Amino acid sequence: MAFTQEEVLEGLAEIVNEVAGVEVEDVQLDKSFIGDLDVDSLSMVEVVVAAEEKFDVKIPDDEVKNLSTVGDAVSYILAHAES
């Protein structure tokens, strides 16, 4: 089942809210995790692990560094999730 960008953004917003207490509405594509949303590098790991489960995708450690914005994460998930 392929996800739409909207579904991924929504799912990711739920995860970021659960892990780091960020308001769901604040999780927008152009927001940076560390700078805008105050999600530190350890919380990023928790977000990534939850996203792997939710979207059935693998996000290796060396990829996590490249996910600076919510948009980066959404694009990665869309590109790598099982269809």
Partner 1 sequence: MSKPIESPAGAPHARILGVGGYRPSRVITNEQICQVIDSTDEWIRSRTGIEERRWATAEESVGVMSVAASGKALAAAGIEAEQLGCVVIATVTHLVQTPSLAADVANQLGAANAAAFDISAACAGFCHGLALAQDMIRGGSAEYVLVIGVERLSDLTDMNDRSTAFIFGDGAGAAVVGPSQTPGIGPVAWGADGSQYDAIGQTFNWERLREESDAGFPALRMSGQQVFRWASYQMVPVAKRALERAGIAADDLDAFIPHQANNRITDAMIKALKLPAHVPVARDIAKTGNTSAASIPLAMERMLEEGEAPHGGTALLIGFGAGLVYAAQVVVLP
Q: How far is CA 14 from CA 18, 50, 51, 71, 80, in A?
A: 6, 10, 10, 15, 20
Locate 61 and state its tokens: 């450690």
Site for partner 1 (CB under 8 A): how many residues?
A: 11
Binding to partner 1, residues 46-75 (CB under 8 A): 46, 48-49, 61, 64-65
Given the complex with partner 1, which of 3 and 33 has the nearer CB atom? Answer: 33
- To which residue do tokens 């914005």 refer? 69
Nearest approach in angstroms of CB 72 to partner 1 is: 16
Q: Determine if 41 is a binding residue for partner 1 (CB under 8 A).
A: yes
Given the complex with partner 1, which of 29 and 49 has the nearer CB atom? Answer: 49
69 and 30 Cβ atoms separated by less than 8 Å: yes
